[in-house]
């Protein structure tokens, strides 16, 4: 998020002075690291949680279309970044089919309803569907081989999906931002921030020397991932009142056998269990990390009270404030399904984890898979007039009324939608300058200001250009 925002501001206002303070020794090691997130690109081609069936069984395509539309904006930004040498090359993005796979009569019917709802839209016009195990075997042999043939199964896919290594993208954007004149400070923790006249004063600790310094800024973006809630609370802005965070940790199984890794070439997403947070949908997932192919399965959810992978267990209790206690309690009361799901997941033995893997890869041998810890997701809890508080699964931008500070809370989709989220933030925080930036924004995002999902000709043009720049055709 910070690398994207910094790059945009640097392009729109090259004379503005930008400072970036990162607690860790490199950029992109927390949620944006490819080992820590799901890395699908969250373009809603295969994630069924964006098209949940309604009570009458129908499927509303709007959310999936909206997310895909947002990803198209990010893709254009990536293409611009490659063409303008803001990233070292196009290796951070790879073509990879996106598939959904379901088991059982009801789920198969649902997948057909989803297909019928999405297929007419140009952003989903490549969607294919099948109930035939032989076809699934061609699409994804690991999922089909050894499967009980009496099982009713269905799969859909979009061949032109992508895998994005957000860690590498973040590192490259940050490095090029430094080369363009921004002050990049790794190993620097922002400890506090307070108002300073019309702007802000940050207290920053250099972890290597222990030195503490103050930094003044007219505008602050708190792009601290799970660390954003505590920093926004420290800022004292009214807009953060009533917000809390609920951390969900995760684990993946990572395949250690090259022969198996090379037999799979897709992201295969299934259905979430009852009560599971939407992004805990199981998936068997090819990904490219620093250019090397890997295979993951998961995530398995867990509970720990830290907001970042690199912080301690006191984050949750320390985030409690008089103004967020009621929303937090309301969410605890209203989300018993989630609590039950988390307890079950935490208690899941390695043997049970292997059984979950076998649902997607019937011939899996657990000894060829290692357990790794994923990133922390901090789900947003916010005040709600009717219920007291609600748990929210997307991201939420919090901006002070004077627009001098803004921060991002929440999880997925986040990485894949960073560009539209940051453009939205610029329009809110810099209303006077924003109109003057629009032509430069169109250089970065050629479709800026227009919708692609109702404009097939423009979509075809933009897709062809971005595919070419990103080496995807
Ligand atoms: C398991 C999992 C699966 C996900 N799957 C997807 C997906 O498939 N697609 C998708 O789009 N999104 C996904 N997400 C969400 C996505 O990873 C995040 O939305 C995105 O990476 C957030 O980027 P960020 O820059 O806000 O945070 P981060 O990448 O976490 O960066 C925040 C940075 O701030 C630093 N920081 C924190 N506090 C301080 C401080 N006080 N001082 C200085 N530095 C600080 C941290 O060290 C970190 O480097 C997933 C997340 C998880 C955990």
pLDDT, tens digit, 9 for 90 and up, residues 96-116: 999 999 999 999 999 999 999
Q: Supply the pLDDT for residue 204.
A: 98
Q: How many Cβ atoms are within 10 Å of 262's Cβ, its own excluded?
A: 11
Q: How far, in Å, from the CA of 29 to the mean position of ligand 1? A: 8
Tokens of 322: 């008089």
Distance CA 182, CA 9 (A): 11
Terminal alpha carbon distance of the chain: 27
Nearest to 97 by CA among 285, 364, 299, 291: 285
Nearest to 245 by CA among 395, 21, 59: 395
Q: Where are the alpha helices (DSSP H) in 303-405?
A: 315-318, 322-334, 336-347, 350-360
Q: How far, in Å, from the CA of 147 to the mean position of ligand 1? A: 37
Domain ranges of the chain: 2-186+219-468
- Backbone CA torsion sign across 411, 412, 416, 422: negative
Backbone torsions φ then ψ of 26, nearest 5 degrees: -145, 170
Beta bridge partners, 294, equal 287
Q: Which residues contact 314 (CB under 8 A, 6 or more apart)?
A: 305, 306
What lines the ligand 1 site, CB under 6 Å?
1-2, 21-24, 29-32, 36-40, 42, 166, 189-190, 223-225, 227, 231, 250, 279, 299, 308, 374-375, 377, 408, 411-416
Burial-class residue 306 by CB neighbours within 10 Å (0-12, 13-18, 19+).
middle
Nearest CA to ligand 1 atom 13: 412
Q: Supply the pLDDT for residue 278.
A: 66
Instruction: Provide the CB-side half-sphere exposure for 195 (13 A, CA).
Output: 10
Q: Supply the pLDDT for residue 312.
A: 78
User: Given the DSSP bridges, would you call strands 98-103 and 267-269 parallel, antiparallel or unpaired?
Assistant: parallel
Probe target for ligand 1 pocket from 414, 416, 425, with the most ligand atoms within 8 Å of CB: 414
| pLDDT band, very low/low/confident/very high, at 275 (cuts 50, 70, 90) | low
The three-state DSSP-derived secondary structure of 69-123 is: HHHHHHHHHHHHHHHCCCCCCCCCEEECCEEEEEECHHHHHHHHHHHHHHCCCHH
Probe target for ligand 1 pocket from 6, 207, 269, 415, with the most ligand atoms within 8 Å of CB: 415
Nearest to 118 by CA among 38, 39, 40, 43: 43
Nearest CA to ligand 1 atom 50: 37
Q: Which atom, in ligand 1's list, is nearest to the CA of 417?
A: 11
User: Which DSSP letter does residue 209 get?
Assistant: T
Residue 448's alpha-carbon distances to 5, 79, 249, 394, in angstroms, are: 16, 14, 36, 23
Q: Supply the pLDDT for residue 306.
A: 93
Nearest CA to ligand 1 atom 48: 30
Q: Which atom, in ligand 1's list, is nearest to the CA of 374?
A: 1
Global confidence as pTM:
0.95
| pLDDT band, very low/low/confident/very high, at 417 (cuts 50, 70, 90) | very high
The 10s digit of each residue's pLDDT in 129-169 is 999 999 999 999 999 999 999 999 999 999 999 999 999 99
Q: Supply the pLDDT for residue 253.
A: 97
Q: How far, in Å, from the CA of 411 to the mean position of ligand 1? A: 7
Distance CA 374, CA 368 (A): 19
Q: Which atom, in ligand 1's list, is nearest to the CA of 414?
A: 19
Q: How far, in Å, from the CA of 166 to the mean position of ligand 1? A: 10
Q: Supply the pLDDT for residue 279.
A: 61
Q: Supply the pLDDT for residue 303.
A: 81
Q: Supply the pLDDT for residue 346.
A: 84
Tokens of 114: 């989803």
């Amino acid at each position: 998020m910070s690398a994207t925002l910094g790059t945009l501001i640097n392009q729109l206002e090259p004379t503005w002075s930008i400072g970036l303070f990162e607690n860790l020794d490199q950029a992109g090691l927390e949620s944006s690291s490819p080992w820590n997130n799901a890395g699908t690109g969250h373009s809603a081609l295969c994630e069924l949680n964006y098209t949940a069936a309604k009570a009458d069984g129908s499927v509303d395509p709007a959310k999936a279309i909206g997310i895909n539309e947002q990803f198209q904006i990010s893709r254009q930004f990536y293409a611009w970044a490659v063409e303008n040498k803001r990233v070292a090359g196009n290796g951070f993005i790879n073509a990879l089919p996106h598939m959904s796979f379901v088991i059982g009569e009801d789920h198969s019917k649902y997948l057909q309803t989803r297909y019928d709802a999405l297929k007419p839209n140009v952003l989903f016009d490549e969607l294919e569907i099948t109930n035939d195990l032989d076809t699934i075997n061609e699409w994804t042999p690991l999922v089909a081989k050894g499967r009980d043939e009496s099982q009713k199964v269905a799969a859909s896919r979009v061949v032109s999906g992508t895998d994005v290594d957000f860690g590498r993208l973040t590192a490259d954007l940050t490095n090029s931002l430094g080369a363009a004149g921004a002050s990049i400070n790794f190993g620097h923790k922002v400890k506090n921030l307070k108002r300073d006249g019309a702007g802000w004063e940050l207290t920053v600790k250099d972890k290597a020397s222990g030195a503490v310094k103050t930094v003044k800024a007219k505008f602050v973006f708190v792009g601290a991932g799970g660390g954003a809630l505590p920093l926004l609370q420290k800022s004292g802005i009214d807009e953060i009142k009533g917000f809390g965070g609920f951390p969900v940790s995760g684990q993946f199984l990572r395949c250690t056998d090259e022969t198996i890794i090379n037999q799979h070439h897709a992201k295969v997403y299934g259905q979430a269990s009852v009560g599971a947070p939407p992004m805990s949908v199981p998936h068997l997932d090819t990904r490219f990390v620093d250019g090397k192919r890997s295979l993951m399965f998961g995530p398995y959810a867990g509970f720990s009270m830290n907001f970042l992978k690199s912080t301690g267990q006191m984050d949750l209790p320390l985030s409690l404030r008089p103004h967020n206690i009621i929303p937090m309690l309301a969410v605890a009361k209203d989300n018993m399904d989630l609590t039950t799901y988390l307890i079950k997941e935490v208690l899941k033995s390695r043997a049970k984890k292997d059984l979950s893997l076998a649902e997607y890869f019937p011939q899996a041998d657990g000894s060829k898979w290692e357990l790794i810890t994923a990133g922390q997701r901090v789900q947003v809890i916010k005040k709600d007039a009717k219920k007291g508080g609600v748990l929210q699964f997307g991201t939420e931008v919090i901006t002070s009324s004077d627009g001098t500070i803004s921060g991002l809370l929440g999880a997925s989709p986040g990485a894949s939608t960073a560009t539209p989220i940051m453009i939205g933030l610029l329009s809110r925080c810099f209303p006077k300058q924003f109109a003057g930036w629009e032509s430069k924004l169109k250089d970065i995002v050629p479709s800026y200001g227009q919708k692609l999902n109702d404009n097939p000709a423009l979509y075809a043009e933009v897709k062809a250009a971005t595919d070419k720049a990103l080496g995807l055709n």
